[in-house]
Structure 1
Amino acid sequence: MNTWTDVERIALSLPATSARTEHAWTVHGAVFVRERPLRPADRAALGDAAPDGPVLAAWVADEETKHELVAADPAVYLTTPHFDGYAIVLARLDTIGTAELAELVLDAWAARAPARLVAKHTPPTLWHLALAHEWDDALDAGTYARSTRGLSLDEVGFVHLSYRHQVTAVAGFVLADETRPLTLLEVSRPELAVAGVDVREEPGDPADPASERYPHAFGPLPTSAVVTATPARMVDGTLVVDGDVLA
C-alpha cells in the first residue's frame, strides 16, 4: 500500500520540484499533485463509492484523459462535480499500484511544468557512463552500485547521473583519458521511483549552490530500471557511442 512518503519520493525525484506543504508538491511554483480530502458535497455525490482512505489529486493533460482514467479503473480513479471543467483526477492512494502511482505523478508533473522543462527531460530518463566490466558485474548481481570512475556507491553515498544534454561534458571531464570499454546506461526515472531509489537534483559543486545541477541516485540502480545499455568508448577525449560521436 502506498503512503504520502511514496508520493513525496516520486514527486521530489522530478526536475525543479519542491514541497509546498506537507502533502502538496510543486514544479516551478505550480502544484501538480496534492492531498485532497473529500468534502461533504463530494461524499454526497459519490455515495457508497466515496473512499475512506487518503485521496490524491493529480493534474492530467486534459479532461478527456481524466474521464478515460476513471472509466478504465474506477476502483482507483474518481472525480466529483466539483472538478468539472478541471483537468484533475482523484486517485485512491491506498489502492493504486506503485508503478501506476509513479506514472501518474510523472504525467502530472508534465502537465504543469513549463514546456521547455518538459521538452528537456522527455523521455523521463537519466544517464550514466559505466565501465563495461562493472556493468557486466551488475547484470550478474541485479544491481549497479558504482558511483563514478574508481569510486563505489558506498564510498560516495550516491550514483552520479546526468541529464541527456550533460552526458558529453561529463564524459570529457571525468573519462577523457579512459581507455577501457564503457557502457552508456539509459535509466528509467519512474522505475527508480518504483524501486524506492531516491533521486535528487543537486549542485555539481557542493561548495557552489548556483553551479549546474545534476541528478544523484541515493541507492543502487536495479538493472531492471536500465532501458538501454549501449557500448561506448573515449576516443581522443571524445565520447563515441555505438560507433558514433555523441552529439
Structure 2
Amino acid sequence: MADRPATVADVHEIAAGMPHVSRIEGSKAGNAVYQVGGKSFVFFRTPRSDAVDPDTGERYADVIVIWVESEADKLALTQDPASPFFTTSHFDGHPSVLIRQSRLGEIGLTELRELIQDAWLGRASKRRAERWLAGQSG
C-alpha cells in the first residue's frame, strides 16, 4: 500500500493509540496534549510570539510539538529550509520539533507514525517502552 500524506486526524489517532496514553486539554483554548506516564510527547500549541508568519507577523495558530530523541534528530529534521519541521529559540536545548498542521501533508503517514512512536518511546518508562517494542517484532 502506498504511503499517503499525513493529516491532523492521523496525529490524534497515532498518539492516542499508543499504550498508557492520556489526552489532556493543555490550555484554556482546549489544545490537546498527549502524555505517557505524565510526560508530554505530542501537543498542540497555542499561538505564541516565537512562531510567526514571516510575511504578516501573525502568530501561527496551528503548531504541533513532537518530542525527538536527541539534538541530532532535531537537527536532521529542521536543517533543510524546505522541511516542514522547524524550531524556534524558545525550544533551544529542548528535544522537540515543531510542525504546522497546514504542512502535515508534506510528510507521509509512515514518517508521522515513526516520529510519534519515537516520541512516545522517548517519554515512556523503560519497562513500557521495552514491552511495546517486544510486541512490535514478529
Q: TM-score, normalised by structure 2?
A: 0.76
- Residue deviations 1:146-191 (CA, integer Å, cap 9, x gap): xxxxxxxxxxxxxxxxxx7xxxxxxxxxxxxxxxxxxxxx4xxxxx
SS at 1:41's partner residue? coil
- State which of 28, 31, 53 in structure 1 corresponds to 2:40: 31
CA RMSD of aligned residues (A): 2.6
1: CA distance, partners of 2:90 / 2:80? 21
Match of 1:8 in 2: 12
- 1:123 CA displacement: 5.7
Conserved 8 A contact 2:47-2:61: no
- How far apart are 1:114 and its partner, in Å? 0.8
User: For residues 124 and 80 of structure 1, what CA distance do their matches in structure 2 show?
Assistant: 36
Structure 1 residues 76, 98: closer, same or farther in 2, change over 3 A?
same
Indicate if the aligned counterparts of 2:51 and 2:60 stay in contact, CA closer than 8 A: no
**Is the CA contact (8 Å cut-off) linking 1:42 and 1:82 kept in structure 2?**
no
Find runs of 4+ consecutive structure 1 residues off by over 4 angstroms: 50-53
Alignment of 1:79-228 (within 5 A): 79-96=87-104, 97-122=108-133, 125=136, 186=138
Matched, 1:55 2:59: no
Q: Does 1:69 align with 2:77?
A: yes
Residues 1:40 and 2:44 are matched in the alignment? no
User: 1:57, 1:91 within 8 Å by CA — same for their partners in 2?
Assistant: yes
Question: Aligned pair in 2 of structure 1 residues 92, 112: CA closer, same or farther (>3 Å)?
Answer: same
Q: Which structure has the highest strand share of the two?
A: 1
Contact 2:77–2:83 (8 Å) recurs in 1: no
- The structure with higher relative contact order (CA 8 Å, sep 6+) is 2
**Does the 8 Å CA contact 1:42/1:81 hold for their aligned counterparts?**
no
**TM-score calculated relative to the size of structure 1:** 0.45
* 5+ long unaligned stretches in structure 1: 126-163, 165-185, 187-247
